[in-house]
Structures are given as C-alpha cells and as structure tokens.
Structure 1
C-alpha cells in the first residue's frame, strides 16, 4: 500500500471519528469493504497507528487551528469529510516531522478532490496554506 492509500485509510478513520466520536483500528477489520486491510504493509500500518493513537489527545489543538483559519466558518458547518481531511493534514504537519508540509497539503487537496464537493479542495488548500503562511509549520 502506498502512503497515499494509507492517508486515505487514515482520513476514513478520522471521518468515522467525526461522525461517531470513536477512533479505533477495529474499523479496519470490521469494514473490509471500506478499508483494504490486505494491502496494509508494516510501514503504513505504523503511520495509521500513529494517527489513531495520537490524534484524540491532539484533537482540541487541531480543531482550534481549523477554527482560527477557517474565516468565519464554524467547525460544525465544515463538511465532515473536509474536517477529516483537515484534521489529518494538520496532524501530519504538527506531529509527523518526517513528512514535508507541502506533500501533506498536496495529498490533502487530492483527497478533497476525490471525496468532497467540487470546490472543497480550494477551501482545504486555502486553510492549510494560510496556516503555514502564518508561521504554523514544522
């Protein structure tokens, strides 16, 4: 599995978190039609595990950044898939120093193009770019 596919899996887990309030790797086994667990290699499983174990503690900090940079959009009004993409990207930017921020933003934009509304990628790109321009990078 490529890192792009692992990101997609992590985004789906964060989407589930946004809907249910629960974040667990159990979903990988319980929904094989949604998550392609057969192709998870050890490296990408560690990436997903890092997010699943680390995100809940950092969610408040990440959501505060999203609120600050969303230009009058309340967190509750942001589409859940966009919120999952933004949360994943900001988690990578803040807590995964081995991933360049520009790569993270490019991948987030691609996820938005694939899973979200037609122009959501512009919102995702603008928010993440604004955050980095404000000095919020690694």
Structure 2
C-alpha cells in the first residue's frame, strides 16, 4: 500500500477505485492484458496517494471472478448485459466484488463510492441505476450488516 497514514485509507482507496474503474474500462474495451494495464497505470499516473495494493487486487480479482460477480446483478437488470454502458458494467462488477469479497468495507461506502464514480464518468442518470442495483445486491449479500444498521 502507499506509505500514507492509516487514517488516510478512505482517500487512498477512493483513488484506487477511480483508477481501477479506468483500468477495468480499458481492459473491457481493448482486451489488453491486465499486467500491462497495471504497469501502464503505475508508470503513467501519480500513484503516491493511491492504495496501490487495493488497485491491483481489484484489477486482477474482478476479471478473474466475472461469472460469479455478474450472476449477482444480471437477474436484476432491465436489459441485456451486453446492452449496459461499459462504465456501468465496470462499476457494477466493482461494487459487487467489494460487497462480496471485502466485508471490511461497509456496504454504504461501497454503494456511495460507485455512485460517485458513476456521476463523474457514467451516462446521465447512470448513478441512479448503479445505486438501485447495488442496493439490491447488498440486500442479498450483506443482510446482517444491513439489519444491524437499521436498528
């Protein structure tokens, strides 16, 4: 991880998600090997304020688990998977990966971070779609956490 203080972890991870979204989009569109994309990002971007371990984990784990991740949100879609905007698709994969594999990250943080990225990079109102779908996935994958938050 970057050498920043532990109390800066949320900001480091926010930047990691930002770059992971861009890298996953590049992978989806160009089908470039992941190790090349990772090397490019580590070389071409200022990664001083990025949790580079988290970035690398997302970049490699999400493509390795596509079927598992997509099976969580595909039944909830109102369109075919192939009709999703590539940014929305990458954000859904990222969000579901964090919900399922990073239980150390609160579900509200996962959803909020993906919604904010959708607002910045996605299509008009794409953030609402991301919010709705990830909220439904969270209800299935983080039931105990959600129940505790409602008490």
Q: Which residue pairs with 2:65 in the alignment?
A: 58
Aligned to 1:102: 108
User: How far apart are 1:18 and its partner, in Å?
Assistant: 1.7
Unaligned 5+ runs, structure 2:
1-10, 144-151
- Aligned partners of 2:101, 2:94: CA distance in 1, in Å? 10
Structure 1 residue 5, shift from structure 2 partner: 1.1
1:52 Cα deviation from its structure 2 partner: 2.3
* Larger CA Rg, structure 1 vs 2: 2
Contact in 1 for aligned 2:115/2:131 (Cα 8 Å): yes
**Which stretches of structure 1, 4 residues or longer, exceed 4 Å deviation after superposition?**
none
RMSD value, Cα:
2.2
1:8 corresponds to: 18
**TM-score by structure 1 length?**
0.84
SS in 2 for 1:14: helix
1:137 counterpart = 2:147: no
Give the counterpart of 1:124 among 121, 130, 135.
Answer: 130
For these two proteins, the number of residue pairs brought into alignment is: 133
- Work out which of the residue numbers 41, 48, 52 in structure 2 matches 1:45: 52
Match of 1:30 among 26, 40, 59: 40
Greater percentage in helix: 2
Using the TM superposition, give the Cα deviation of residue 53 of structure 1 relative to its aligned residue in structure 2, in angstroms. Answer: 2.6
Q: Measure, in 1, the Cα distance between the counterparts of 2:105 and 2:35.
A: 22
CA distance in 2 between partners of 1:21 and 1:29 (Å): 15
Unaligned runs of 5+ residues in structure 1 are none
**How far apart, in 2, do the equivalents of 1:124 and 1:23 lie?**
27
